[in-house]
């Protein structure tokens, strides 16, 4: 894999996870508005309407950020050899 692609992809995913941690209510509001506009209501997407969804989003953001940090550290360790 090309190093620039891997690093930039992990950085973008990390930024998204950080935004979910810092601003979960904005992300939730966007997802709820998108769900309400959608003509296709998938049953699994009802999760965005739950009152605990911002907390869930923040938790998944923390987990995703930890995965990104570990993957980036592992990639940089292997690439620097």
User: Does residue 43 surpass a pLDDT of 70?
Assistant: yes
- DSSP helix/strand/coil, 38: coil
Give the CA distances from residue 32 to residues 14, 37, 44, in Å, rounded to whole numbers and listed in that order: 22, 9, 13
Mean pLDDT over each residue of the chain, to the nearest integer: 92
Assess contact for 74 and 23: CB atoms under 8 A: no
Structure tokens at 69: 């940090």
Percent of the chain with pLDDT over 90: 72
Does position 81 have pLDDT exceeding 80, yes or no? Answer: no
Q: What is the mean pLDDT of residues 31-55?
A: 92
Residue pair 64/13 in contact by the 8 Å Cβ criterion? yes
| pTM metric for this prediction | 0.82
Band of residue 1 on the pLDDT scale cut at 50, 70, 90? low
Indicate the DSSP class of residue 80.
T
Confidence of residue 79 (pLDDT cuts 50, 70, 90): confident
């Amino acid at each position: 894999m090309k190093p620039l692609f891997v690093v930039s992809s992990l950085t973008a995913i990390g930024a998204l996870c950080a935004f979910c941690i810092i601003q979960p209510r904005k992300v939730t509001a966007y997802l709820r508005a998108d769900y309400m506009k959608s003509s296709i209501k998938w049953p699994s997407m009802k999760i965005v309407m739950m009152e605990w969804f911002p907390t869930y989003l923040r938790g998944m953001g923390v987990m995703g950020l930890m995965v990104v940090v570990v993957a980036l550290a592992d990639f940089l360790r292997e690439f620097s050899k």
